[in-house]
């Protein structure tokens, strides 16, 4: 029985080596060289893989998606019917995301956009000192990634708030939920961080109305999915000064088209979906564990909940 691997070629080789390091006995086939379709019992794939193609494997008993977000699986055609799907919950993926949030919070908090603009113009000018205890961070989504970002920011002295669909507690974080909770948090948020899963409910959550609730001059960090942000609304808010800066790692579509106004916008930091990248050696153990569980008919870990959409 074999595992089908499918992602970019260099990542595929790293995944193969990482899986073999966990279990040297694994038979790994790198897509498109799947061999006999009947051999494939697990598919470890990422967003570019055609989900219809997976229906060719009659003995598939596990599909693993090589990342945290699963919005590419929740829209049609979806995974092969009846095949359980796991995503990754990985400590390194999570800490990488917390680093990304910290980096951009600090850039905005420490007036880095202004200081870089001053440097470009050779201006020596000290701006008013920022007060960490007054820079309120509002995180949309307190799952694996959002709660890790909160835990990274709290010890530095930032007041951290978090919003979730259903009530949720994270130590030290002031939490909000539901539609009213969202508005209440936004009214007090100086740096808004989006780490939500993309679902029909969260699509377009960062829009003219919600951006308008933020205190004037707030910042946005989006490391979730491009579909969370209504781009025209964000650009208008940046141009009016309602939003003072945005760090964006994700876009719709990706790659961000070369003529998109974000590229050259002085208040926008563009990242090429690189906030946190899965490190195969860190993520491989959970994949091999799930494979063992699938073979033995034991409950799988990190399963995607298709009802919730994440
Ligand atoms: C990356 O975007 C991921 O979902 O892991």
Evaluate whether 2-90+278-296 and 91-270 have a shared fold.
Answer: yes
Question: How many angstroms does the Cα of residue 120 sit away from the middle of ligand 1?
Answer: 34
Average pLDDT across the chain, whole number: 97
Which CATH architecture describes the domain 91-270? 3-Layer(aba) Sandwich (3.40)
Nearest C-alpha to atom 4 of ligand 1 is from which residue? 69
Give catalytic residues, as residue numbers. 225, 273
How far apart, in Å, are the Cα atoms of 267 and each of 59, 230, 248?
51, 16, 11
Q: How far is the CA of 273 from the centre of ligand 1 (A)?
A: 8
Indicate which residue's Cα is closest to atom 1 of ligand 1.
67
pLDDT digits (tens, 9 = 90+) for 3-32: 999 999 889 999 999 999 999 999 999 999
For ligand 1, whether the C-beta of 159 sits within 6 Å is no
Would residue 186 be called left, alpha or beta, if left means φ above 0 and alpha means ψ between -120 and 50 degrees?
A: alpha
pTM for the complete prediction? Answer: 0.96
Pick the atom of ligand 1 nearest to 250's CA. 2
* For the chain, domain boundaries: 2-90+278-296, 91-270
Residue nearest to atom 2 of ligand 1 (CA): 69
| Percentage, residues of the chain above pLDDT 90 | 98
Does the N-terminal peptide bond of residue 255 adopt cis geometry, omega within 30 degrees of 0?
yes
Confidence class for position 132, pLDDT limits 50, 70, 90:
very high
Report the separation in Å between the CA atom of 3 and the middle of ligand 1, taken as the mean of its atom positions. Answer: 21
Residue nearest to atom 5 of ligand 1 (CA): 67
Contacts of 114 (CB under 8 A, 6+ apart): 127
The CATH class of the 2-90+278-296 domain is alpha beta
Q: What totals of helices (H) and strands (E) does the chain contain, helices first?
A: 10, 12
What are the pLDDT digits (tens) for 185-215?
999 999 999 999 999 999 999 999 999 999 9
Q: What is the pLDDT of residue 107?
A: 98
73 lines ligand 1 (CB under 6 A): no
Ligand 1 centroid – CA 121 distance (Å):
37
User: Cα Rg for the chain, rounded, in angstroms?
Assistant: 21
Contacts of 99 (CB under 8 A, 6+ apart): 152, 276
Tokens 């919003």 — which residue?
A: 163
Whether 96 lines ligand 1, by a CB cut-off of 6 Å, is: no
């Amino acid at each position: 029985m074999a595992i089908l691997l499918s992602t970019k070629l260099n990542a595929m080789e790293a995944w193969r080596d990482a899986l073999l390091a966990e279990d040297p006995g694994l038979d790994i086939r790198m897509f498109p060289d799947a061999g006999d379709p009947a051999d494939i019992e697990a598919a470890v794939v990422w967003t570019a893989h055609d989900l219809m193609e997976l229906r060719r494997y009659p003995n598939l008993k596990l599909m693993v998606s090589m990342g945290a977000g699963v919005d590419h699986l929740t829209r049609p055609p979806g995974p092969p019917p009846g095949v359980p799907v796991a995503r990754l919950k990985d400590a390194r993926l999570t800490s990488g995301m917390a680093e990304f949030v910290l980096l951009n919070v600090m850039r905005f908090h420490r007036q880095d956009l202004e200081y870089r603009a001053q440097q470009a113009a050779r201006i020596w000018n000290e701006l008013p000192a920022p007060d960490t205890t007054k820079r309120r961070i509002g995180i949309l989504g307190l799952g694996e990634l959002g709660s890790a970002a909160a835990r990274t920011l709290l010890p530095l002295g930032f007041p951290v708030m978090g919003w979730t669909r259903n009530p949720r507690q994270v130590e030290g974080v002031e939490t909000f939920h539901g539609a009213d909770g969202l508005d209440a948090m936004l009214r007090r948020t100086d740096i808004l961080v989006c780490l939500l899963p993309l679902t029909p409910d969260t699509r377009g959550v960062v829009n003219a109305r919600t951006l308008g609730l933020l205190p004037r001059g707030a910042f946005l960090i989006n490391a979730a999915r491009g579909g969370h942000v209504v781009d025209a609304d964000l650009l208008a808010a940046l141009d009016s000064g309602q939003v003072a800066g945005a760090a964006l790692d994700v876009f719709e579509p990706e790659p961000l088209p070369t003529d998109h106004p974000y590229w050259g916008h002085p208040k926008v930091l563009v990242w090429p979906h690189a906030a946190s990248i899965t490190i195969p050696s860190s993520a491989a153990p959970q994949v091999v564990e799930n494979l063992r569980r699938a073979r033995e008919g034991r409950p799988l870990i990190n399963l995607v909940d298709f009802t919730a959409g994440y």
